[in-house]
Structure 1
Amino acid sequence: MATTTSTTVKQRFDWAGLGWMFLFFWYFSGVTHTLIQLTGTAGFAGFRQALLVSALWLIPLLLFPARARQLAALIGIPLWLCSLSGFGYFLVYGQEFSQSVIFIMFESNVTEASEYLGHYFSWWIVLAVLAYGVGGWLLWRKVRPVYVPQPALAVTCVALFMLSLGYPALRQFTKHEEFQSALENFEERIEAATPWQLVVGYRHYRMQLANMEALLETHAQIPPLQNMRDQHAGQPATLVLVIGESTNRQRMSLYGYPRPTTPNLDKIRSELQVFDNVVTPRPYTIEALQQVLTFADQENPDLYLSTPSLVNLMKQAGYKTYWITNQQTMTKRNTMLTTFSKQADEQVYLNNNREQNASQYDGDVLEPFSKILTDDAPRKFIVVHLLGTHMRYQYRYPPEYERFTDRTGVPEHVTQDQLPTYNSYDNAVLYNDYVVSDLIERFRSTDPNGFLLYLADHGEAVFDASAPDVLGRNEAAPTGPMYTVPFFIWNAPKWTAMDVSGSLHRPYSSSHFIHTWADLAGLSFNELDLSKSLVSHQFKTRPVLVGDPEQPKGLIDFSLVKPNEVQPNTKPPASNSSEFVQKGPAAPIKAL
């Protein structure tokens, strides 16, 4: 009799129902990972991990089979919403949603995110998302109660938990002695699945933000630089650093671009020292400036936490420090850039609104800059952080700067759909030219003793010849325009400037910028490495590393790349800037 009952139970167990139930939950991670596999974007590990972790959601449905469909909807809707980030990112970039993207997403505000959405909005993406939602709904309709006999229910639930989360956790926490290390490795095992990408990303964001807040509280305790010496000690001096945003030098006529996007800078070209081979280490503002403004670099990415920043360096040298920013600031603690700005003696925050609208132009930095120039402090160090050519480009310039509106000077590969965005980026570069050149003129008018240096944090790909379909930045799929940045200096006549003519074409990473700045400013100290100074006779050529330093094997040497400085099917302008033109397609990026 017992044998007959057991056989009946086995016959009644709904394996198909269990399969539909699992397929429903796996769907929210599996679709994206299937696309990744079909396109060869990444290895099989993420697919396998998402498959296993998805088994977790079977447990509540097996425990309460009578409410299986309601529970499936209650769990499935949040999973679908969370999964849209990874699914949408793949549709746009053709890449797997990474931890770095999560970090950037949480550093962006709603308006900035909406601007990116506006750039990438396309009806086919909307249709794909709708189809993706319909697929989930159809699978939900297949969900039905699955009854597991009571003696086996507990064992089944424990097995599912161990398969999805328990075993990965147990393995990592027994393998690693340090809790933090074990936790990070465990997170790495589960982050491929929805919703753990967002959960892990948010935790890491909060952890980084806490580090920044701690740094703000303790930066004064960081030991000063040793044996500081100043070649200009006792002299009045004003040094200005202008930080651009999302500006690719390949789209500046100053560097040979055919369209006259930098007419004002072109006029004073003979007064500028223009460096044409400088590359940013990361294509994101925060990660790039963590290295540009500190002693951190790609091989030592955490030094920004324990060494003086550029602002503190200048304060130690006796300069009064100022920070003017047109970067959006919802609160003074909501972005890691605030860590650097708060170290200055005075800050000017111009963009504290929630909305990053068209009226918030970089021209707003000009009056505060002029006011600071009249400050009676004898030695001033001024940082001006621009919004530059940040997306959406049409919001970066007033209507009178919308001068590029047709196909004149536009490469043939740019489609009619791409043309408005392509033109708006050039218009943004044109307005950026006005702002930067006006800063130079206002600086010049004070008859200063010092120099002004302009450097963009990173570049931007905008349908360039080397990647005609790429818009924006993606560290997982690097292209030349994302990394090639403008770097030039205007020296005041009074300033005793060093001869840098022999260093204008050196391959250089802006991750070593602090050494170059100190050298230019006439400062020396024990920690200064002149082999990392772009303008030093002791300069040493080394690999120009780009990529995520948290994944050292993924770092690549950008100096092996020959990115297009001018689109190949256009002619360079008949000017003295043509010497910076490099024709031909970009060479492939090679891994170290």
Structure 2
Amino acid sequence: MAMTKSAPAGRSAIDWAGLGWMFLFFWYFSGVTQALLWASGTTGSTGSRQVLLASALWLVPLLLFPGRTRLLAGAIGAVLWLCSLSGFAYFLVYGQEFSQSVIFIMFESNVNEAAEYLGHYFAWWIVLALVAYGLGGWLLWRKVRPVYLPRRAALVASLLLFTASVGYQGVRQFFKHEEPLAALEDFEKRIEAASPWQLVIGYRQYLRQLSNMETLLASREQIPPLNNLVDAHAGQPSTLVLVIGESTNRQRLSLYGYPRQTTPNLDRLRGELQVFDNVVTPRPYTIEALQQVLTFADQENPDLYLTTPSLVSVMKQAGYKTYWITNQQTITKRNTMLTTFSKQADEQFYLNNNRDQNARQYDGTVLEPFARVLADDAPRKFVVVHLLGTHMRYQYRYPEEFERFTDRSGVPDSVTDDQLPTYNSYDNAVLYNDHVVSTLIERFRATDPNGFLLYLADHGEAVFDAPDPQVLGRNEAAPTGPMYTVPFILWNSPKWQAQQARDFSASLHRPYSSSHFIHTWADLAGLRFDAFDPSKSLVSAAFRKRPLLIGDPEQPKNLIDFSLIKPKKPVDPSSEFVQQEREAKERPL
């Protein structure tokens, strides 16, 4: 018996097939892209789970007004289709997930840059895929039919669908947080993978973070330049490169004695490198660490990053053309400060526009723009290359061909069978990081430069390392050695070394905090100014040993010398990794 505008008398069976076609139609406009992202290994399954729930919301108006099912489905579907085109097309072109960072790049690019990118990535099959995508939506719309329920049943079903899709998470977050804005931000994270929220939330986040960044940039423009800056190499062509790693614990590098050969390329270059083996980071978090590494702030003066020039500004003042190449996320809430630093450079290359940090975005993507920068005819260049490095989750940090550590060979007995996959994936991530860093050095060396390349990580990472084999991640409240020990490696070109004739042997084992890095960089670059302190330079004859302060400088009483930290065996529930794991599990299935 065919359905009519009012359910026929005596008919009580629910048209489950009709409900299924409705749901499939609405799911299509978000689910296809998320399924492609998941199937390609670009992201995990979180987005797909979000889409399954969020898509159920659109069944509500169709159940409440069944007589207008086709009209409502068509109108809602048209909006979802239009909003989903950006995410679908972006995946086809770049193989990444659409985010607020993409919106930032779009508005930052001029017409010529946009045309260049379009010409580089455009292919006719993309047009065909977009046409097929639209056709698929139309075919599903033709399958949509009214589903009639008794009025009370329709109301109950609509309430349940609303609660399951958005209501429960919305109420839960607003009870969980005291601040409404914090509750809204957490709620947005639970639905932002679905159309149209991906575009709406992305644009709102873009506006919010852009405002924050513009405020920071405006304040930085008021910072006066360094007094009495003198450059020992003024007027000479030179290229200086700073490579910033991520979450890389030097204890897992064979270059530093780790038994597994995780850095075969750097090991091969060992004779050309200055390998400093006693450098620690002041803080185990990227933003907090780099606020000190890239400015004159330190653990005793943590707010100086707000009132003193950044390293980029110093190099511009010294007459260098400055570049920032980053594979980190661009304009997220956490990364706005880094984007502010990058915007001070003359040219930027933003390569990672994924919504989710846990996405396959390999650092090899920095090599092409690095080659372009090296080919730039500017006589004096300062280049920052910011890697995603070995950031959790480690299995997303390396392509399949670098998955070489898969068994227990070279693994401590303390590592359990459950821990082994994570332990191995971290070593594989270190192996790929070795490939990227060594390739940067080799390509730099091939240009016969007058300059140097320095690589250090922002912080380390504990991955079931001795003497605390149960600890995974980073937690400032329960510090362990691997969270703070970072690689610090210098490659000098023959030309630059000949000019300076420096002997680094006396400084390779000095205890040093990267919070004073700007003084070391200035010393290596031949810069002097009133704020320069040679006793804070790792490579200066005037170097003075200081306590390696770690901890939150906003709580000075909690600052401790790194040499005094004690092993912590339990996994602290507030650690960053545990929090991320918990959030992943709490996301609706």
TM-score of Structure 1 vs Structure 2, range by shorter chain: 0.5 to 0.7
Following TM superposition, by how much is the alpha carbon of 1:79 offset from its aligned partner in structure 2, in angstroms?
8.1
Following TM superposition, by how much is the alpha carbon of 1:211 offset from its aligned partner in structure 2, in angstroms?
6.7
Matched-pair contact (CA < 8 Å) for 2:460–2:485? yes
Mapping for residues 108-507 of structure 1, pairs under 5 Å: 213-330=214-331, 335-356=336-357, 358-495=359-496, 496-497=499-500, 498-507=502-511
Following TM superposition, by how much is the alpha carbon of 1:209 offset from its aligned partner in structure 2, in angstroms?
9.1
Following TM superposition, by how much is the alpha carbon of 1:560 offset from its aligned partner in structure 2, in angstroms?
3.5
- Which string of whole-angstrom CA distances, capped at 9 and with x for unpartnered residues, describes residues 295-346 of structure 1? 0000000000110000000000000000000001256996221111000000
Call closer, same or farther: CA 1:317–1:470 in 2, change over 3 Å.
same
Match of 2:546 among 515, 518, 542: 542
Call closer, same or farther: CA 1:563–1:483 in 2, change over 3 Å.
farther
- Partners in 2 of 1:357 and 1:211 — Cα distance? 24
Matched-pair contact (CA < 8 Å) for 2:287–2:334? no
Partner of 1:455, secondary structure, is strand
- Partners in 2 of 1:416 and 1:526 — Cα distance? 55
Partner of 1:239, secondary structure, is strand
Corresponding residue for residue 530 of structure 2: 526
Partner of 2:482, secondary structure, is helix
Letter in 2 for 1:501: S
Call closer, same or farther: CA 1:266–1:563 in 2, change over 3 Å.
farther
Following TM superposition, by how much is the alpha carbon of 1:499 offset from its aligned partner in structure 2, in angstroms?
1.6
Taking every aligned residue pair, what percent have the same amino acid on both sides?
77
Following TM superposition, by how much is the alpha carbon of 1:290 offset from its aligned partner in structure 2, in angstroms?
0.3
Corresponding residue for residue 511 of structure 1: 515
Following TM superposition, by how much is the alpha carbon of 1:500 offset from its aligned partner in structure 2, in angstroms?
1.5
- Flag structure 2 segments of 5+ consecutive residues without an equivalent: 1-166, 194-206, 569-589
Following TM superposition, by how much is the alpha carbon of 1:221 offset from its aligned partner in structure 2, in angstroms?
2.6
Partner of 1:548, secondary structure, is coil
- Which string of whole-angstrom CA distances, capped at 9 and with x for unpartnered residues, describes residues 247-305 of structure 1? 00000000000000000000011110000000000100000000000000000000001
Corresponding residue for residue 560 of structure 2: 556
Matched-pair contact (CA < 8 Å) for 2:296–2:310? yes
Following TM superposition, by how much is the alpha carbon of 1:353 offset from its aligned partner in structure 2, in angstroms?
2.7
Partner of 1:516, secondary structure, is helix
- Flag structure 1 segments of 5+ consecutive residues without an equivalent: 1-74, 87-98, 115-205, 565-592
Following TM superposition, by how much is the alpha carbon of 1:476 offset from its aligned partner in structure 2, in angstroms?
0.7
Call closer, same or farther: CA 1:76–1:333 in 2, change over 3 Å.
closer
Following TM superposition, by how much is the alpha carbon of 1:426 offset from its aligned partner in structure 2, in angstroms?
0.1
Residues paired across the two proteins, number: 383
Matched-pair contact (CA < 8 Å) for 1:358–1:398? no
- Partners in 2 of 1:224 and 1:276 — Cα distance? 33
Partner of 2:522, secondary structure, is helix
Matched-pair contact (CA < 8 Å) for 1:393–1:425? yes
RMSD: 3.2
Letter in 2 for 1:538: A
TM-score, with length taken from structure 1: 0.61
Following TM superposition, by how much is the alpha carbon of 1:213 offset from its aligned partner in structure 2, in angstroms?
3.6
Partner of 2:456, secondary structure, is strand
Call closer, same or farther: CA 1:558–1:210 in 2, change over 3 Å.
farther
Letter in 2 for 1:539: F
- Could you tell which deviates more after superposition, 357-366 or 340-349? 357-366
Following TM superposition, by how much is the alpha carbon of 1:234 offset from its aligned partner in structure 2, in angstroms?
1.0
Following TM superposition, by how much is the alpha carbon of 1:82 offset from its aligned partner in structure 2, in angstroms?
6.5
Matched-pair contact (CA < 8 Å) for 1:278–1:487? yes
Letter in 2 for 1:499: D
Following TM superposition, by how much is the alpha carbon of 1:439 offset from its aligned partner in structure 2, in angstroms?
0.1
Matched-pair contact (CA < 8 Å) for 2:480–2:566? no
- Which string of whole-angstrom CA distances, capped at 9 and with x for unpartnered residues, describes residues 10-30 of structure 1? xxxxxxxxxxxxxxxxxxxxx
Matched-pair contact (CA < 8 Å) for 2:358–2:392? no
Call closer, same or farther: CA 1:350–1:332 in 2, change over 3 Å.
farther
Call closer, same or farther: CA 1:332–1:492 in 2, change over 3 Å.
farther
- Which string of whole-angstrom CA distances, capped at 9 and with x for unpartnered residues, describes residues 101-125 of structure 1? x99x989x959x99xxxxxxxxxxx
Corresponding residue for residue 577 of structure 1: none
Letter in 1 for 2:441: I
Partner of 2:336, secondary structure, is coil
- Partners in 2 of 1:245 and 1:562 — Cα distance? 24
Matched-pair contact (CA < 8 Å) for 1:330–1:354? no
Following TM superposition, by how much is the alpha carbon of 1:212 offset from its aligned partner in structure 2, in angstroms?
5.1
Matched-pair contact (CA < 8 Å) for 1:331–1:352? no
Partner of 1:489, secondary structure, is strand
- Partners in 1 of 2:392 and 2:334 — Cα distance? 23
Following TM superposition, by how much is the alpha carbon of 1:236 offset from its aligned partner in structure 2, in angstroms?
0.2
Letter in 1 for 2:378: A
- Could you tell which deviates more after superposition, 209-218 or 385-394? 209-218
Call closer, same or farther: CA 1:330–1:516 in 2, change over 3 Å.
closer
- Which string of whole-angstrom CA distances, capped at 9 and with x for unpartnered residues, describes residues 456-495 of structure 1? 0000000001211111101111100000000010000000
Partner of 2:217, secondary structure, is helix
Letter in 2 for 1:273: Q
Letter in 1 for 2:510: R
- Partners in 2 of 1:244 and 1:83 — Cα distance? 38
- Which string of whole-angstrom CA distances, capped at 9 and with x for unpartnered residues, describes residues 353-394 of structure 1? 324465420000001001100000000000000000001100
Call closer, same or farther: CA 1:334–1:521 in 2, change over 3 Å.
closer
- Which string of whole-angstrom CA distances, capped at 9 and with x for unpartnered residues, describes residues 2-47 of structure 1? xxxxxxxxxxxxxxxxxxxxxxxxxxxxxxxxxxxxxxxxxxxxxx
- Partners in 1 of 2:567 and 2:257 — Cα distance? 13
Mapping for residues 46-125 of structure 1, pairs under 5 Å: 81=173
Call closer, same or farther: CA 1:301–1:357 in 2, change over 3 Å.
closer
- Partners in 2 of 1:263 and 1:77 — Cα distance? 48
Matched-pair contact (CA < 8 Å) for 1:248–1:482? yes
- Partners in 2 of 1:85 and 1:391 — Cα distance? 26
- Partners in 2 of 1:529 and 1:216 — Cα distance? 26
Matched-pair contact (CA < 8 Å) for 2:331–2:339? no
Following TM superposition, by how much is the alpha carbon of 1:220 offset from its aligned partner in structure 2, in angstroms?
2.7
- Partners in 2 of 1:210 and 1:427 — Cα distance? 39
Call closer, same or farther: CA 1:505–1:209 in 2, change over 3 Å.
farther
Matched-pair contact (CA < 8 Å) for 1:292–1:510? yes
Letter in 1 for 2:366: V
Partner of 2:535, secondary structure, is helix
- Partners in 1 of 2:564 and 2:453 — Cα distance? 30
